[in-house]
Amino acid sequence: MENAIELAGLRKVYRGQGGGDDKIALEGLDLSIPAGSIFGLLGPNGAGKSTTINIMAGLVNKTAGNVRIWGFDQDENPRMSRASIGVVPQELNVDPFFTPRAALEVQAGLYGVPRSERRTDQILEKVGLLDKAEAYARTLSGGMRRRLLVAKALVHAPQVLVLDEPTAGVDIELRLMLWDYVRELNEAGTTIILTTHYLEEAEAMCDRIGIISAGKLVECDETSNLLKRLDAKSLVVTTEGQGVPALPEGVNGTRREDGALVLSYRKSAHSAMDLLDHLRNQGVVIQDMATEEPHLEDVFREITKAA
């Protein structure tokens, strides 16, 4: 299998209710996600990320286009296409009266997993919920509910696991645990797709990134390539005294919260050495300095601004 997911000309129009306007959420989206990757689907609010995920999961009907999950066309082979994907939704909607063990058993039943093939307790242990197996879901904390949703998405052992904003409002410990587990699943062969608003997280986790803006794919590349392509760089200097000195054209200077002077510049136009000379010529006394490479956040800002 080369691509775990292939979307071609995907279009979604939400019909206006009661005479309201139609809303075009996706406008001919083409996207391929290689098998075995950890893929980050990013984009500003309302770009169409959840719509894309929900269409892949079979939760929202597409208006037009083609969807292949693990090689199975969603229209021609809906059963296999659905069996190949598991989705961890954004909302923490768990049935309050089910225990985690019961919730997984029900889910396994829905997916037609034979009893002999169920791995309920193994999955509960993996997500750290085995000791809560018989607790009512309404007594679980937010973090535990999140883990239960991950567990539910895994009962049918899907080749593709989609996580929609899995760490929104999650504490740092759980976030790290979740990412360890996601990496483990990926190493065992599961293709991972995730959306997140934490760009640092996407940069650290994802080997490939796709950026959606206004219902279209505006960028898709290996994370390292996206970062390399950016011409931006920063020079961080600790100085005696405060204020921002006069700077060469095209160089932007700000003081960070810790007082350090941050100069943002284009690698193609300036070098750190030139800028240091410039500061010295301005009479600035430099105590320390470091350069910083661009982050995904800079790439994201640049791309969505242009789009």
Ligand X SMILES: Nc1ncnc2c1ncn2[C@@H]1O[C@H](COP(=O)(O)OP(=O)(O)OP(=O)(O)O)[C@@H](O)[C@H]1O
| Inter-residue contact 213 to 307 (CB < 8 Å) | yes
**Among 99, 63, 61, CA closest to 78:** 61
**Which region among 45-53, 80-88, 179-187, 269-277 touches ligand X (by CB under 6 A)?**
45-53
Q: Of 54 and 191, which CB lies nearer to ligand X in the complex structure?
A: 54
Asked if 47 is part of the footprint of ligand X (rule: CB under 6 A), the reply reads yes
Name which position in 14, 136, 179, 181 contacts ligand X (CB under 6 A): 14
b/e burial code for range 201-220 (CB count within 10 A of at least 16 → b):
bbbebbebbbbbbbbbbebb
Number of residues near ligand X (by CB under 6 A): 11
Q: Is 45 in the site for ligand X (CB under 6 A)?
A: yes
Long-range contacts of 122-125, Cβ-Cβ distance < 8 Å, separation of 24 or more: 123/151, 123/154, 123/155, 124/100, 124/151
| Stretch near ligand X under the rule CB under 6 A, chosen from 39-47, 136-144, 221-229, 271-279 | 39-47
Residue 57 CB, nearest approach to ligand X (Å):
13
100-110 helix and 142-154 helix, angle to the nearest 10 degrees: 30
CB of 47 to ligand X, least distance (A): 4
Q: CA 298 to CA 307: how far, in whole Å?
A: 14
59: contact with ligand X by CB under 6 A? no
The smaller minimum CB distance to ligand X, of residues 14 and 198, is found at 14
3-class secondary structure for 133-188? CCCCHHHCCHHHHHHHHHHHHHCCCCCEEEEECCCCCCCHHHHHHHHHHHHHHHHC
The region of 41-49, 233-241, 263-271, 282-290 touching ligand X under the rule CB under 6 A is 41-49
With binding defined as CB under 6 A, does residue 50 bind ligand X? yes
Q: Which is nearer to ligand X, 46 or 250 (CB)?
A: 46
Contact criterion met (CB below 8 Å) for 65 and 29 = yes
Nearer to ligand X, 45 or 287 (CB): 45
Q: Is 210 near ligand X (CB under 6 A)? A: no
Q: How far is the CB of 163 from ligand X (least distance, A)?
A: 13
For residue 43, state whether it binds ligand X (rule: CB under 6 A): yes
Q: Does 49 participate in binding ligand X (rule CB under 6 A)?
A: yes
Q: Is 25 in the site for ligand X (CB under 6 A)?
A: yes
User: What φ, ψ does residue 264 adopt, rounded to 5°?
Assistant: -100, 130
Task: Give me the residues that bind ligand X (CB under 6 A), please.
Answer: 14, 23, 25, 43, 45-51
